[in-house]
Amino acid sequence: MNTKTGKKNKTWIVYILRCSDESLYTGISNNMERRFAAHTQGKAAKYTRSRRPVELLTTSAKMEKIEAMRLELKIKSLPKENKLAALNKHAEKKSKAVIRVTERNPFRKETLKAIAALWQIQLKKIHKNMTIQGSPERSVFRIVLEDENGKIFILEQIPPKSLENKKRIAAILDFLAKKNLARVQPYLASGKGEFVIEHKNNFWQMIPFVRGVALDRGKYMYDKWRGPALAEFLINLRRKSKSLPFQNPRNVFSLKDYIYKLIREINLYNKDIKDEIQNVAAFLEKDFMPAYEKMPVVFCHGDYHPLNVIWSAADIRCVIDWEFCGYKSDLYDAANLIGCIGVEDPQSLTGDLVKCFIADMKKAKIISKTSWMYLLEFIVALRFAWLSGWLRREDTEMISLELDYMRLLIDNKNILQKAWL
């Protein structure tokens, strides 16, 4: 399979900036001086424009553009406290002292103690620097707490706009746990049975902390054993999620409508990629779009991929980040998983992890034969969701990488289908 998506030119570097709000921004450039000046002037990225002044923390060694894009994607998906160390591994000259950025705690210990007590938890210690897996953007603030018995919890402050969705997710996880679905961690309920508690006009959730083994981003996509483990969870989820009492099966997310809406926006506001997007759309419209409406609908995790899993040394410990769960096409989770593995290293699309995952999923017969016929098209279609995120951030490098990945998938359709099906 041809995985080349750019010319060999070792002039690109990956860099990390610290913004005025203490958040970190990761990007790539082939002219760091010019790029930093653009950030300083508010012209480089929408994210840093409103978070100036910015400070350059570290840069990588020079590499090819595609290598820089992959490294940028990898670092962006890491927890904040791990980003600098990850990039320093790729630096030209490694510094003996690794720069450490810790999240500022806007709440005093007495406040956190009072909040924890709402769940009958007696706070003993705050772990400010303990890594929390999952996307930090989905909460206002989060921190690890330890009680008097040595049990560890994650306390999260919930943004008001996400309140109803957070309650829905908590109820779903509670239902699935009571159905004995392994590898899910439900939120703690208060004495009144509430999963979200209000304290002084802020909303909070508490969940037990699950320890895991760090995922080796350089080689995990070739670990054969992960394929059956990932398949087993989806198979069990399908069986345990039948008849969810508070979910409406008629309220179905339409990937097709989402794509057409994004294409209309691109035609208006991103005309530089208009032609390339139209080519991808033409590929999907040939067979996939007419077949999409006929695919069975099931309850899905909605963002299922290896980075939303807490791993042990040889199995899944917990599946996290359920923000997009709901009723979707039966191929949704499987296609998203494979697409996320492939974007890390396209060669892994024909590796043992992916092939074993597909084999076990097919054996379980939880995805229709019709849906399997359009696996590659579904993966391409789901990349529109990722593209949308990069467009919102005005991240031109990642937009380019996403378009290259879509084209790579389309150009290698026959090779991939033969390997998978």
In tens digits, the chain (421 residues) has pLDDT values of 655 444 457 889 999 998 877 789 999 999 898 888 888 877 788 778 777 788 899 999 999 988 888 898 889 888 888 888 888 888 764 433 333 444 456 789 999 999 999 999 999 999 987 888 887 777 888 999 999 999 999 999 999 999 999 999 999 999 999 999 999 999 999 988 999 999 999 999 999 999 999 888 889 999 999 999 999 999 999 999 988 887 777 889 999 999 999 999 999 999 999 999 999 999 999 999 999 999 999 999 999 999 999 999 999 999 999 999 999 999 999 999 999 999 989 999 999 999 999 999 999 999 999 999 999 999 999 999 999 988 987 888 789 989 999 999 999 999 999 999 8
What's the pLDDT score for residue 89? 84
Domains (ranges, CATH) in the chain?
Answer: 13-88 (3.40.1440.10), 109-208 (3.30.200.20), 220-420 (3.90.1200.10)
The amino acid that residue 120 corresponds to is Q
If one counts every other C-beta atom within 10 angstroms of the C-beta of residue 362, the result is 16
Whole-prediction pTM: 0.79
Among 410, 271, 265, smallest CA distance to 346 is for 410
| 354 phi, psi to nearest 5 deg | -65, -45
The H-assigned helical ranges of 24-88 are: 32-41, 46-49, 65-76, 80-88
What's the pLDDT score for residue 97? 37
What's the pLDDT score for residue 50? 73
